[in-house]
A and B are shown apart, each in its own frame.
Chain A
Amino acid sequence: MNRIEQLFKNKGKNILNIYFTGGYPNLNDTETIILELEKAGADLIEIGMPYSDPLADGPTIQESGTAALKNGMTLDLLFQQVAVVRKQSNIPLIMMGYFNQMMQYGDMAFLEKCAEYGIDGLILPDMPLYVYEEKYKATFEKLNIGISFLITPQTSNERIKKIDELSKGFIYMVSSSAITGAKKGISEAQLDYFNRINGLQLQNPRLIGFGISDHETFSTACQYANGAIIGSAFIRALKASNNITQTIHNFIEMVKGKVTV
């Protein structure tokens, strides 16, 4: 059982997963951001590997990635920063990026580095299921690295069952078929979708992502899943920040509001 599975076992509800882009706003903010997020009460942290062409991300995250690359971020540096954090914290860490980044690093070397530096799970939105199943599943399992595949309102029940079978840790439930950060609030159609998924009796817990930005959307998401993922709203807060530590604490407080933890 890795740290992600442990988290869902110990605390099945109201899980708050915060996404940030490695190397943003400043090249060496990774350590501060992770440690302060943990102190402020985030349960799970998703580290974005900045990418030149992030197809599944919206403009806010793309912009942060472009800035991080301009700051000089590389995968090697990100791994080093994670290693430093790992000595001080036991919070579950996920890396999110694109399959090409893993391929160019050397796919197996990348997975070994993840395991070595204490990354507990990966999100690679453009890696096809069959590629994972045929080529990487055995290695992920051997190295005890989780993987979260995405589902959307358009994903068929049959495919969701396959995704459930292959995911390890949690399923990333895209709240609507919209790119991250594009939508505000949660609609009736989305609630129908959440209910449909809950009816499928999946083995993996679910976190709802895309469009979660504040206390209202977070607490609604928590009623229909095990928790939620916030990305673009947090990046926007960092962008506007003069004091990262203070911003992080204010942001988490704003999101959690009266949700019991």
Chain B
Amino acid sequence: MQEYKVDRRGYYGEFGGAYVPEMLYPNVEELRNRYLDIMHETSFQKEFQDLLKDYVGRPSPLYLAKRLSKHYNTNIFLKREDLNHTGAHKINNTIGQILLAKRLGKTRIIAETGAGQHGVATATVCALMGMECIVYMGAIDIERQAPNVSRMKMMGATVRPAMSGSQTLKDATNEAIRDWINNPVDTHYIIGSVVGPHPYPDMVARFQSVISEEMKWQLKEHTGNENPDIIIACVGGGSNAAGAYYHYMDDKDVRLVAVEAAGLGVDSGESAATSVLGSRGIIHGSRTLLMQTKDGQIIEPYSLSAGLDYPGIGPLHAHLIETGRAEAVSITDKEALDAAFFCSRQEGIIPALETAHAFAAMDKIKYKKDDIIVINLSGRGDKDLATFVKHL
């Protein structure tokens, strides 16, 4: 059992580990030594659960999307992470990590962000706890996710543009790691996805696992059975997917669908479909699948969606996909946009562009009429209005 959970050294099968320069080693080691103990403390759990309930607004509803179900002739439930405070699942993790950072005696918080949802979620918890907050964001993403930049600033965070490389999520992550190297004592780095060196992928997955924990009893209420047949989630780094899969990973009758961004098309040269285009290597301190040249240079990815515009995937997902436990589906920009409009008009819910990729997967996967399908509605689309308006 538990073959999909992290092992003692921080690996999922052959993926994971902590490939970090010595300058980061003491920080990562401190986290590795303490994260589980801290997370299991009664006082931590109480504070975490209270904030998830009263501040985030959990549990998030599990909603039977009747019109979508009718259209696809099956049973589609939406896990409404978009209704969380700040509008996405990202806050589950930032609440957990800020409480952990406080217990580690850290006073300064840094984060990377792509779509800005994790940056906003980090700025939010820093305001809540009165901590200094610096968010690194690719210069291109700052432009395409302007509303989130304003939100971060309004809550007192400093947004620093990452100017190197493709000026997107990968480069923001590099800059955040550099900041941590330069500030090893007082700073905690809140990584927003299940990426990075061990223990981050496991820690973030645990904080996000509340999603599938709730799904179990909610499905039981709705259907009498706590297991669905299929769970669909979009994967950039993969934190919402990790949370939606977490308590089902060992139940092999539950199909896990990981939806990646194909950008302009998997073979177009402008894509972020890592499981198809990637190979084994190391990115941001983790051994996983990533898009790279034969010389090991990391390839700049592309997706219209800033949150999926990342050339790697978390090591857990690399393991799930490589072992066949999860099936990967690639969705283009256009398919995602169409799905965003379709969902908006069918259900009155505007999904984030990232999440729209998960909806579009309904047109690609096989399912049966009687199936119970859960789509993890990881975030709302307010931040993407400027993009959507261009395609109205």
- A62 adjacent to B21 (CB under 8 Å): no
Task: Give bound CA distance, A58 to B174, whole Å.
Answer: 11
Q: Which residue of A lies closest to B26 (CB)?
A: A154
CB proximity of B304 to chain A, nearest CB, Å: 23
Task: Give bound CA distance, A105 to B20, whole Å.
Answer: 20
Task: Give bound CA distance, A128 to B281, whole Å.
Answer: 14
Q: Which residue of A lies closest to B9 (CB)?
A: A130
Q: Which size bracket describes the interface of A in this complex?
A: 35 or more
Known: A100-B281, A100-B292, A104-B296. A53 touches B22 (CB 8 A): no
Indicate whether B165 reaches chain A with its CB closer than 8 angstroms.
Answer: yes
CB proximity of A18 to chain B, nearest CB, Å: 21
Indicate whether B128 reaches chain A with its CB closer than 8 angstroms.
Answer: no
Other-chain residue from B181, B279, B283 in contact with A179 (beta carbon distance below 8 A): B181
Task: Give bound CA distance, A127 to B282, whole Å.
Answer: 10
Other-chain residue from A56, A66, A130 in contact with B181 (beta carbon distance below 8 A): A56
Known: A55-B177, A155-B26, A177-B181. A99 touches B297 (CB 8 A): no
Which B residues are in CB contact (< 8 Å) with A178? Answer: 181-182
- B21 adjacent to A55 (CB under 8 Å): yes
- Interface digits, A42-79 against B, CB 8 Å rule (1 contact, 0 not)? 00000000011101101100100010010000110000
Q: Which of A114-122, A145-153, A213-221, A241-249 contacts B (4 or more CB under 8 A)?
A: A145-153
- A150 adjacent to B21 (CB under 8 Å): yes
- B165 adjacent to A152 (CB under 8 Å): no
Indicate whether B18 reaches chain A with its CB closer than 8 angstroms.
Answer: yes
- A125 adjacent to B22 (CB under 8 Å): yes
Q: Which residue of B lies closest to A54 (CB)?
A: B174
Q: Which residue of B lies closest to A65 (CB)?
A: B297
A-B contact count (CB 8 A): 101
- B298 adjacent to A126 (CB under 8 Å): no
Indicate whether B184 reaches chain A with its CB closer than 8 angstroms.
Answer: yes
Indicate whether B164 reaches chain A with its CB closer than 8 angstroms.
Answer: yes
Among A100, A127, A150, A155, chain B packs the most CB atoms within 10 A around the CB of A100
Indicate whether A2 reaches chain B with its CB closer than 8 angstroms.
Answer: no
Other-chain residue from B182, B281, B284 in contact with A104 (beta carbon distance below 8 A): B281
Q: Which residue of A lies closest to B290 (CB)?
A: A100
- A179 adjacent to B182 (CB under 8 Å): yes
Which A residues are in CB contact (< 8 Å) with B178? Answer: 55, 58, 179
Indicate whether A84 reaches chain B with its CB closer than 8 angstroms.
Answer: no
Indicate whether A98 reaches chain B with its CB closer than 8 angstroms.
Answer: yes
| A100-B283, A103-B280, A125-B21 given; 9 more Cβ-contact pairs under 8 Å | A53-B284, A55-B20, A55-B21, A55-B285, A59-B164, A66-B165, A98-B282, A98-B296, A104-B294
